[in-house]
């Protein structure tokens, strides 16, 4: 994964800080493009496996339809209220559709890690509940940008 940093190295997260941050955060904002170039952004739950961001999306959503035509995506995970508390990660690249869509739970080795990480994080369960409406998107980012303004005050 190529890492680009537009902001000063002083506020950039280390790889370990980034991985811990993406593991603990619960909601990301996902931006996709329509065929005519119009952007669409929406919130989504995710898990991070240390290399890829896994998004569990409704297959009958505008996001899913747009990604079928253009797999490019940008994702922002951020938090903080005051300027000195702001931190986040932006990831971009092209998603891959993994497993059956919609997901019903058929065996898929590629989904073992996200389906182990996702249910305890969001549902307080060990096993992944499959509702026949969602499916997996994997973003292994081409670019990653991070910031942690708390480093400016410390």
Instruction: Write the DSSP assignment of the chain as a string of letters.
Output: ------S-TTTPPPHHHHHHHHHH--EEEEEEE-TTS-EEEEEEEEEE-SS-EEEEEETTSHHHHHHHH--EEEEEEEE-SSGGG-EEEEEEEEEEEES-SS------GGGHHHHHHHHHHHTS-SSPP--SSEEEEEE--SEEEEEETHHHH-
pLDDT at position 147 over 80:
yes
| Percent of the chain residues past pLDDT 90, beyond the cut | 86
Structure tokens at 28: 């990301």
Report the predicted TM-score, pTM, of the whole model to 2 decimal places: 0.90
**Cα within 13 Å of Cα(136), Cβ side:** 26
Position 9 scores a pLDDT of 78
Q: What is the pLDDT of residues 57-116, one digit of tens each?
A: 999 999 999 999 999 999 999 999 988 899 999 999 999 999 999 999 999 999 999 999
CA-based angle 99:103:107, to the nearest 5? 55
Looking at residue 10, what is its pLDDT?
A: 85
Q: Which domains are present in the chain? A: 15-153 (2.30.110.10)
Q: Is the pLDDT of residue 139 over 80?
A: yes
Averaged confidence pLDDT in the chain? 92
């Amino acid at each position: 994964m190529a890492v680009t940093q537009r902001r000063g190295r002083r506020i950039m997260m280390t790889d370990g800080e980034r991985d811990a941050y993406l593991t603990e955060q619960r909601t990301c904002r996902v931006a996709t493009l329509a065929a005519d170039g119009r952007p669409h952004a929406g919130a989504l739950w995710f898990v991070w496996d240390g290399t890829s961001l896994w998004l569990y999306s409704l297959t009958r959503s505008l996001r899913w339809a747009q990604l079928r035509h253009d797999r490019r995506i940008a994702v922002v995970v951020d938090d903080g209220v005051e300027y000195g508390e702001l931190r986040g990660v932006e990831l971009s690249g092209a998603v891959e559709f993994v497993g059956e869509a919609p997901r019903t739970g058929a065996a898929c080795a590629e989904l073992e890690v996200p389906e182990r990480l996702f249910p305890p994080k969001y549902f307080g369960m060990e096993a992944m509940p499959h509702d026949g409406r969602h499916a997996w998107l994997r973003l292994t980012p081409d670019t990653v940008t991070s910031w942690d303004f708390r480093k400016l005050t410390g």
